[in-house]
Chain A
Amino acid sequence: MPAYLAEAEELLGTGHRQLLAMEVSIRRGVAHPRAVRELFRAVHTLKGLSAMVDVEPIVDIAHWMETCLRNADRAGGRLPESSVEPLMEGLREIEQRVRQLAAGKQASPVPAGLLARLEALEVAGAVGTGGGAKGGVATLALEETLASRLSPAEREQLTQGVTGARRAVRLDFIPGADRAASGVTINTVRERVAVLGETVKVLPLSGPAAGGGSLTFVLLLLTEASDAALLDAAGGPPASVRSLRVPAASAEVPVPVATLDAPVVEEEEPEESRRSGGLLRVEVTRLDEALERLAALVVNRSRLSRAVAALTAAGAPTRELNAILQENARQLRDMRTAILRLRMVRVSEVLERLPLLVRGLRRSTGKSVRLALEVGDAELDKAVADRLLPALVHLVRNAVDHALELPEARRSVGKPDEGVVRVATHGRAGGLLDLTVSDDGRGVDAQAVAARAGVPVPATPDALLELLCRPGFSTRDAATATSGRGMGMDIVRRIIVEQLGGELALETRPGAGTTFRLRVPLTITLLDALVFECAGLRYAVAVGSVEELIEVDAARMSRPAGAGGLCLLERRGSAVPLVSLARLLGQASAAESDAMGAKALLVRQRGELVAFGVDRLVGQQEVVLRPLEDPLVRVPGVVGATDLGDGQPTLVLDLAALGLARGGKPARREASAKAERYLS
């Protein structure tokens, strides 16, 4: 089932993408045969998969969509505009059922009326087959032998050439020894012709050819070049150029439709496999597992290095051992990098949902919007990408909902009717990726925002962003003409800043538009952490590092003489040293120094259990670990910092390392500092 869900998810993504591409083509009045086929293929595969796992409602929906698309393909990749909505609905319904299955529920039955709507499309599609192109019956002056070797898509392409601005021509090239000697071969002709126009198809024809040859290459082209230029590209006669436009008199000799009915859909399969070749779908949990194994190796390595240090201290010859250790450390770091790279996904894949979102918004708001995605091949850690997407969805939604004006309003200020929302990446530096979400809408009206919040007008963009990010702040029901943006900005900031440890900035110009700049780390480390309070500050530790949580019971505690504030705690018949964490952290005031805290975290420190007394447990939560890179704050026992939402960094501690570094003799500090570095 997980494999099915993952695959279905991906196919739905493809489906949405292709259907959107098709919708764009329809609006432009051109066919999009490739999208029709890709969509057909996605739906077809979905149907097959769903049949295998016996999800009948999805099979049914997919079946009717498939039928409709097959007709569209036969019509040369043309789909009536009225078909888009039912198809979209079909995808949505399939998606909803896939989600139900993912949640362990039964897929609900096909909604009433949907199949009927899809079936109606089928009929409409069949009727439309004959008159695919606008402007009447499209015909090509092409012998049947050639025409039959064209796919409907190619035929459509040529037909459009016939009716469009470019000419559809047939260039016959006859190869020969003399031509090859002067450097003219089918390959050079292809290249030269490619400059002059679009090559729709190259068909080799065997049989007697002009000039005594026995092979002719027929190049079917769409071009604006002159016949002379084309002839020249083919090395001159016996090459010939003919127009594919049907002379008016012979217009009643259309290309027989019957020969074009072949199941062309499977034709491009090899290309498909070529593209997906070399890609592997791996569950994230498996990658996590690999990373965990690696972490175990790293821990082991630091034990090894301690053992070697002990040997060295005892006077043993350890030069070579140390060299090996160093090499080992390097290898482990490389390995870690390699594994982290495995988790990277393309930003473009993450943003696949945005076009669909914008399409929906276009319909619901009545605004004319174009979404421009300029994300190149930038990559992000899957975990970052998953968190980032909702923030981008918010920003894009806000841009369309609040920032963009209605077409007439745009026209009145001299802007094009169609607004643009742009999502772009701007390169990466130092483990960070810069993104922008911008629009060419009305810009944020700082005064309106301030008035709404009941505060003075913010002086800087940062202050304005601060206002917009106030929880629950919305300008939605402020006067529409002056409304700014803000819906859910607190969520956006929480994601970017608190969850991802990134940055968020705003630039806005009244009347010209708004740009949100996002900076996110390429990878984040998530940690299941215990959060607790100690001497008035909050700290976090990895859940995995804590063996047990216990109540500190004064009755079970004794203070050995001369132990310097160390206590012994009776626990299941054995004595466990209890350390005051506040004291260890240097946070305890003199009065508190005797207090041991109410709770203790049991941690294994060099194999021995040690209890760290803390004041209060706050809870367990997943935190984003931000490593502390600066040497000023790179200290043993502190793994990094995290943000628990109060805007103040919270230290993430490694209690064992901290105990060793700060509880023990100063000499230990160096060794443990090293171990710490290797761990991070």
Chain B
Amino acid sequence: MTVLHVVFKVAGAEYVLPAADVLQMESFTGATPVPGAASHVAGLVQVRGRVIPVVDARARFGLPPVERSLDSRVVVAQLGPRVVGLLVDSAREVLKLDPQQLKPPPSLVVEGARGFVKAVAQVGPRLVMLIDFPRVIGEETLDGDGQR
């Protein structure tokens, strides 16, 4: 039983997300900044009529910003009722991964990556990292008091 994963690149490193969590990939043409939002929030984009927040993966991973190119992609993912985009350097591949291939990351990586990396898989000569999406976009949850 292999699971389809979407592969994307941030600062040369390869990350994956289960394809089941990914709604679509969009090219990035800029986001509307939201004043007062966390610094890793690139802003709002409109995807098929829906307004969604986009998290800048570089900012979130503490990497220096780069000029956005034609390769830049917004990986739109579903997280429970939330739909959030992740801005990455590029995303153009899907991979089938056997759950057996996914190994817990070395403890040094866990610390260094602030828990963003959930597992690591070796695919031929490549290493791909499975990200913890909820963690990457931020720990914020909807208000507990059931408003809205």
Residues of A within 8 A of B (CB): 329, 333, 430, 496-498, 500-505, 519, 537, 584-587, 626-633, 635-638, 641, 643, 647-651, 658, 661-662, 669, 677-678, 680
Contact = CB atoms under 8 A, between A and B. Distances in A.
Contact of B51 (A501, A584, A586): A501
Contacts of B52: 630
Contacts of B148: 627, 629, 677, 680
A632 B137 contact: yes
A649 B46 contact: yes
Contact of B49 (A329, A503, A635, A651): A503
B111 to A, nearest CB: 25
Given A333-B147, A628-B44, A632-B37, A649 B84 contact: no
Interface string B30-43: 10111111100101
Contact of A641 (B29, B32, B36, B143): B32
B22 to A, nearest CB: 15
B141 interface: yes
12 contacts: A496-B49, A585-B33, A587-B33, A626-B51, A628-B51, A628-B53, A630-B83, A632-B55, A641-B32, A649-B44, A651-B34, A662-B35
Contact of B36 (A430, A498, A519, A635): A635
Nearest to A519: B49
Nearest to A630: B53
A612 B70 CA distance: 37
A333 B145 CA distance: 12
Contact of B53 (A497, A519, A586, A633): A633
Contacts, number: 103
B119 to A, nearest CB: 24
Interface string B104-148: 000000000000000000000000000000000110111100011
A442 B101 CA distance: 47
A519 to B, nearest CB: 8
B21 to A, nearest CB: 16
Nearest to B55: A632
Contacts of A497: 48-49
Nearest to A498: B49
A635 B35 contact: yes
B68 interface: no
B54 to A, nearest CB: 9
Interface in B1-46: 29-30, 32-38, 41, 43-46
A633 B34 contact: yes
Nearest to A636: B36
Contacts of B53: 628, 630, 632-633
B45 to A, nearest CB: 7
Contacts of A629: 82, 142, 148
Contacts of B99: none
A585 B137 contact: no
A430 B81 contact: yes
A638 B35 contact: yes
A554 to B, nearest CB: 26
A661 B147 CA distance: 21
Contacts of A680: 148
Nearest to A646: B46
Contacts of A637: 35-36
Query: A interface, by DSSP: helix, strand, loop or mixed?
Result: mixed
A632 B141 CA distance: 9
B35 A658 contact: yes
Contacts of B92: none
Interface of B: 29-30, 32-38, 41, 43-46, 48-53, 55, 81-84, 137-138, 140-143, 147-148
A632 to B, nearest CB: 4
Contacts of A500: 49
Given A497-B49, A586-B35, 8 more contacts: A333-B147, A627-B148, A629-B142, A630-B83, A631-B143, A632-B138, A638-B35, A662-B36
A651 B84 contact: no
A503 B36 contact: no
A503 B50 contact: yes
Nearest to B34: A633
Contact of A648 (B38, B46, B140): B46
Nearest to B81: A430
A661 B141 CA distance: 21
B72 to A, nearest CB: 16
Given A333-B147, A501-B50, A641-B51, A632 B32 contact: no
Complex A-B, nearest 9 residue pairs according to Cβ-Cβ distance, in ascending order: A635-B36, A631-B140, A497-B49, A649-B44, A632-B53, A633-B53, A585-B35, A503-B48, A641-B51
Contacts of A669: 36
Contacts of A632: 37-38, 41, 53, 55, 84, 137-138, 140
B136 to A, nearest CB: 11
B35 A584 contact: yes
A638 B55 CA distance: 18
A680 B143 CA distance: 13
A677 to B, nearest CB: 6
Nearest to B47: A503
Contacts of A661: 36
Contacts of B35: 584-587, 635, 637-638, 658, 662
A147 to B, nearest CB: 62
Given A584-B35, A648-B32, A650-B32, A631 B49 contact: no
Contacts of A626: 51
Nearest to B45: A649
Contact of A651 (B32, B50, B141): B32
B33 A635 contact: no
B42 to A, nearest CB: 10
B148 to A, nearest CB: 6
A641 B44 contact: yes
Contact of A633 (B37, B46, B49, B147): B37
A455 B34 CA distance: 36
B34 A635 contact: yes
A633 B143 CA distance: 13
Nearest to A326: B145
A651 B37 CA distance: 13
B103 to A, nearest CB: 30
Nearest to A653: B35
A643 B46 contact: yes
Nearest to A496: B49
B36 A649 contact: no
B138 A648 contact: no
A643 B50 CA distance: 10
A283 B106 CA distance: 66
B59 to A, nearest CB: 12
A549 B1 CA distance: 64
Nearest to A505: B48
B143 to A, nearest CB: 7
Contacts of B138: 631-632
B113 to A, nearest CB: 20
A111 B50 CA distance: 49
A333 B148 CA distance: 8
A502 B49 contact: yes
A647 B46 contact: yes
Contacts of A329: 147
Contacts of B29: 648
B39 to A, nearest CB: 11
